[in-house]
Structure 1
Amino acid sequence: MKTRCLHTHVSSTRNALNTFLRSDSGAALPFIVLILVGALVGLSFAFDTVRMVNTAGQLKRATDAAALAIGQIQLRNNNDDETDLDSIAQGYVLNNLGMDSGLIDQIDTTSISVTQGTNDGHPTFTVTVTLKTQSDLLNAQTEDQVISSKVEVVSTPTEVALLLPNTLTEDEPELVALRKLGKNFARNLLGEDTDASNSAQKVWLSLVPFSQTVNVYDADDPERISRWAAAGALNPPELRSLFKTGKVRSLADPRFPDRVAKLLCMYRGLGAGENFNWDQQPDSQFGVYYRHDLPQNGSPGATPISWVGPNPSLWPSSVAEDVRWIVADKGCPNAPLLPLTNDLDAIDGRLDEMSTRFNVNYAIAMGWAGHALSPNMRGSSGWGDSELPLDFSKSKSNVKVIVMLANTAGEWFDTDAYNFNRDQALDSTGPGSAKAFATQRFHDVCRSFRDKNIKFFFIGVRPGDPADFSRTLFADIAGPGLRECAGGGGGLYFADASSFVEGKSQIDNSLEEIAEEIRQNYYVRLIK
């Protein structure tokens, strides 16, 4: 329409000029002709320039869309060389031009191509289109105009371990809040697609529910307890009198209360500076926790076993016999550790298994988060995945992250019997006390994480009163070490709330901030 109007205007102007030139006045003003002709040429050039700029802009938006789409496809396919990128680009470019048949006719579809390259070690993809341009008004010859868009695909494999408390403090309302927080975080991290096969990036999440320790039971790996147990660990001498009864033959006996309740809590590296040996291979390395306690203190899911014999907690210093009980261990979480996965259904299911348990040991939980990310736990001897966890990387070819949630308002943590070997003697106070040992252990574990380039984020709920004893206790014992953990590129966050229910919105915001930082390891961006 605009072109037709301009032609009509040009024709009318020419007629006026002819009439003007035939007149006496026209003969006297030859320069006016040159001015008008120049104006016509300028107007034609301006119109063609605007039209070509609009055309190029529309086509650039189409190549941008095609390049971004190809980047997302290659992010999902791990840069699969067999993908027909040219066909994909052609489809996206033409579809994004819509109904503009005139513009489509100016494009040689065979010229739409994709070339690959690199930028700082990351793959790039450039979509190029050749546009045939011609000035209709100036009758200029056809010229080729090249339009291109380039994207960079950053896909750094990322492994995240999320620690969630399942202690006495976490009653059902607290667990409901924690489940929602965990599910939201998983979706912020992995996306909304519940099908792991459609995951758009190489990122995986492990769940580490914790109380006094961490449950590593796996129904698909029934031999784990025998494979991981150190020599003699399944038949501790202090339980010899129980085994002689024939009620159970060892800690691996399927009749043992923890085995009935599907609980498997194990330990290693409890000595000073050993850091739970979290970065070592698991075979023949572990002891097995069990609970010698009164029946009422046991966990649901298994009937306690009684026998007459010495007190296992005092053996061999005391051999006085009496009725003893083995109960299912309430300090061992009902929900087992979930190894690295990108399956949202599996993550949701494990979160739904969480229940209220018993006391709390933060450092032990941190050690198991390390196990969840350790490449020495890869394969059939460890978590069962032949590829995960990935190797540690100093070149940042992959990223490992621990995110820990905890209620820091507690008066007793990291100093119970779960933290020490049976023969490990500690003073009640002073530099050799359990508290001093726990304080140093936080430092040691955090240094071991930083040595392996593991980022650590901590989110705690705590009461608003800075003078509260339980708040200052956590700050004194765990605080210095956790600050060392977070110094490796992580962070410490605190919700001014006494519970996860009360602080849920603050924690959600912190988790979203952490997820956003983690997502910087995998994205597609337009760079041209």
Structure 2
Amino acid sequence: MGDSTDKTQRTGFLRRLARARDGGVALVFGLALPPLMMMTVAGVDLHRAVTVRSSLQDALDAAALAAARSQYTDAAGVQRIGMASLRANMPNFTGVTLDESATSFTLTPERVVIAVARANVDAIIADILLPPYGQVLDDELPVTASSEVMRSNNRVEVALVLDNTGSMAGTKLANTKTAAIDLIDRLAAADGRSVEPDAVRISLVPFSFTVRVPTDDGQQPTWMTNSGSHTGGTGATGLFDTAVGRFTLFEQLNTRWAGCVEARPQPYDIRDTEPVTTDLATMFVPYFAPDLPDNVYTDSTYRSWTGLEPNDYLDDGTGFPSSVNSTNRAQVWRDRQARASKYSSTPRDTLDDGFGPNRDCVIQPLLRLTNDYDALRAGVNAMFAHGNTQVPMGAIWGWHTLSPNAPFGDGRPYGQERLLKIMILMTDGANVLSSNSSPNASTYSAQGYIWQDRLGITSGSTAQRRTALDNRLDHPTAGREDLCGNMKAQGIIIYTVAVQVDAAAQALMERCATSSDHYFNVTSASAIGAAFDRIAGSIENLRITR
């Protein structure tokens, strides 16, 4: 009986307790208080850990960049540079220790710097208020960060050497402009992604039968000579009958040199030799189209001299011979053409790029190596078609822009580690030294007149003149010095683009290229862009893989 009553009482108490509501909140709060306190206190330390991790990530990113930009390729060097930068950039937090045993900078075979770092944050608040919490975490909160930086394998210097001759007019030149600007854009983007300072520089060299360099108000650059005894001076192959400098003649005519240049005499026309004043053959002279003989002779056979090569801008200042015939005609012409004294005379009319010593010097000036991509785009857009083709002239000045030697000296020294020098040489025609029926037997160009023996010939057919120019660019006979071979010997990578040219020009441009896969035979103007796109992709790959 008693046991039954006790059991009933206990059961009732439990039921009343279960139904009771008084003090329930306090009971629940009491049960929840320990975990709530732990969460609140832990939040303070977690906030500190998040702050430290953000700073650690920023410092690690900077350190990985420093390691990638360094010249070190060995593990110890990369680690040393990375750690030094990380220590310098990591803020000095109280209670935070950089775990150097768990921090590393590694350079992979793919030239990627992989950085990982760990810092330990003391559990200060939690360890004071809730010692068991701190002990669970060994009194520290670990924070980690990681970073990867692609090390730029190569810096690149690119010369864009582009045909601007008359045959380029229309679609070919328009497509070339678009393709060149697209290539500039791609290389500019690669420069922006690079960890290397000044990783990409580009020059632009438009060419026809001459090249035009930037001028300082027509003044004489230090690498040019005003000597009258230089190429084109007196003698059997000279333009003038007395030794007189061309800058002197420009001054006497009260006009300025427009910036076009002649080729240097052989062999310097295809070499990167530094111009020095003690060796005049290495110096450059300005393009100077001479005044041609007056049209005063009335014989029906020989009278139309000005129509043969119209650039008669001065009076000859001498009487005409009583007799001109097929025997003395050329000598009479050259005697009158060579009179240096007439350049003190008053010109017949205003001298400009269509009349006078700067005649046909209208090509867009070249741009030296630069990473001013807006200037390069503007230079490309300003190109226009005029004149005949002399590819060696464009190629040698493309080389001059890449060279560490004067005249510009803008290129980095040859042979530097992780440096690529690249030329993109594009033409749509065959080499030409135009002929005419005047006693000069050719029009004036960067090669002077054919009778001046600048190409190793003093006369010849169109085919012979073309061959002479072709051989200066790339001789088909092994062992013969030529321009493309000289550039390759200095490690310059040459891409060539031949646009709608004949078989002989195709063979020439393919020989000049570094290899057959650096040569692009373009059979339609619409395919110019595709060729340049492939070249841009190849250059991007070279920057990563070489």
Q: CA offset at residue 457 of structure 1?
A: 0.7
Relative to the length of structure 2, the TM-score reads: 0.59
| Aligned partners of 1:163 and 1:402 also within 8 Å | yes
Pick from 326, 332, 347 the counterpart of residue 319 of structure 1.
332
* Structure 1 partner of 2:11: none
Cα distance in 2 for partners of 1:439, 1:141 equals: 79
Cα distance in 2 for partners of 1:403, 1:203 equals: 15
| Aligned partners of 1:206 and 1:372 also within 8 Å | yes
Relative to 1, partners in 2 of residues 1:61 and 1:226: Cα closer, same or farther, differing over 3 Å? closer
Cα distance in 1 for partners of 2:107, 2:465 equals: 54
* Structure 2 partner of 1:425: 457
Relative to 1, partners in 2 of residues 1:426 and 1:232: Cα closer, same or farther, differing over 3 Å? closer
Q: How does 1:21-36 map to 2 (within 5 A)?
A: none
The question of 1:475 aligning with 2:475 is answered no
* Structure 2 partner of 1:218: 215
Relative to the length of structure 1, the TM-score reads: 0.60
Cα distance in 1 for partners of 2:260, 2:385 equals: 17
* Structure 1 partner of 2:401: 372
- Structure 1 letter corresponding to 2:271: N
* Structure 2 partner of 1:181: 179
Relative to 1, partners in 2 of residues 1:471 and 1:202: Cα closer, same or farther, differing over 3 Å? same
User: Equivalent residue of 2:537, what SS?
Assistant: helix
Instruction: Give the aligned length.
Output: 413
Relative to 1, partners in 2 of residues 1:453 and 1:186: Cα closer, same or farther, differing over 3 Å? same
User: Equivalent residue of 1:503, what SS?
Assistant: helix
Q: CA offset at residue 451 of structure 1?
A: 0.8
* Structure 1 partner of 2:422: 401
Per-residue CA distance 1:411-452 (angstroms, 9 max, x = gap): 84699764468134357479x943443343213212111111
Q: How does 1:345-356 map to 2 (within 5 A)?
A: 345-356=374-385
- Structure 1 letter corresponding to 2:288: Y
The question of 1:277 aligning with 2:309 is answered no
Q: How does 1:3-22 map to 2 (within 5 A)?
A: none
| Aligned partners of 2:67 and 2:113 also within 8 Å | no
User: Unaligned stretches of 5+ in structure 1?
Assistant: 1-58, 92-104, 463-469, 523-528
- Structure 2 letter corresponding to 1:481: R
- Structure 2 letter corresponding to 1:190: A
Relative to 1, partners in 2 of residues 1:154 and 1:428: Cα closer, same or farther, differing over 3 Å? same
- Structure 1 letter corresponding to 2:536: E
Cα distance in 2 for partners of 1:315, 1:339 equals: 47
Per-residue CA distance 1:317-359 (angstroms, 9 max, x = gap): 6134668996355554532221111112332333243222200
The question of 1:457 aligning with 2:451 is answered no
Percent identity (aligned): 16
- Structure 1 letter corresponding to 2:332: V
Q: CA offset at residue 149 of structure 1?
A: 4.3
Cα distance in 2 for partners of 1:429, 1:129 equals: 78
The question of 1:391 aligning with 2:393 is answered no
* Structure 2 partner of 1:171: 169
Cα distance in 2 for partners of 1:471, 1:223 equals: 40
Cα distance in 2 for partners of 1:210, 1:221 equals: 20
| Aligned partners of 2:154 and 2:543 also within 8 Å | no
Per-residue CA distance 1:250-309 (angstroms, 9 max, x = gap): 4454457896462331321434xx55222433654224332246989999xxx9732327
- Structure 1 letter corresponding to 2:512: L
The question of 1:494 aligning with 2:521 is answered yes
User: Equivalent residue of 1:354, what SS?
Assistant: coil
Per-residue CA distance 1:59-88 (angstroms, 9 max, x = gap): 999989976665557778999x89995389
User: Equivalent residue of 2:332, what SS?
Assistant: coil
User: Once superposed, what is the RMSD of the aligned Cα atoms?
Assistant: 5.3
Per-residue CA distance 1:100-158 (angstroms, 9 max, x = gap): xxxxx9x958559987676789795734123679999x967578586654545235332
Relative to 1, partners in 2 of residues 1:352 and 1:259: Cα closer, same or farther, differing over 3 Å? farther
| Aligned partners of 2:107 and 2:113 also within 8 Å | yes
Per-residue CA distance 1:151-200 (angstroms, 9 max, x = gap): 45235332111111111123265444333333222221123999xxx995
| Aligned partners of 1:211 and 1:360 also within 8 Å | yes
| Aligned partners of 2:161 and 2:423 also within 8 Å | yes
Q: How does 1:205-284 map to 2 (within 5 A)?
A: 205-219=202-216, 222-224=219-221, 227-228=224-225, 232-233=229-230, 236-237=233-234, 239-240=239-240, 250-255=246-251, 260=256, 262-271=258-267, 274-281=268-275, 283=277, 284=280
- Structure 1 letter corresponding to 2:214: Y
User: Equivalent residue of 1:319, what SS?
Assistant: helix
Q: CA offset at residue 475 of structure 1?
A: 2.5
User: Equivalent residue of 2:422, what SS?
Assistant: strand
Relative to 1, partners in 2 of residues 1:226 and 1:202: Cα closer, same or farther, differing over 3 Å? closer
* Structure 1 partner of 2:465: 434
Pick from 287, 292, 313 the counterpart of residue 305 of structure 1.
313
* Structure 1 partner of 2:129: none
Q: Which structure's residues are more often strand, by fraction?
A: 1
Cα distance in 1 for partners of 2:544, 2:65 equals: 15
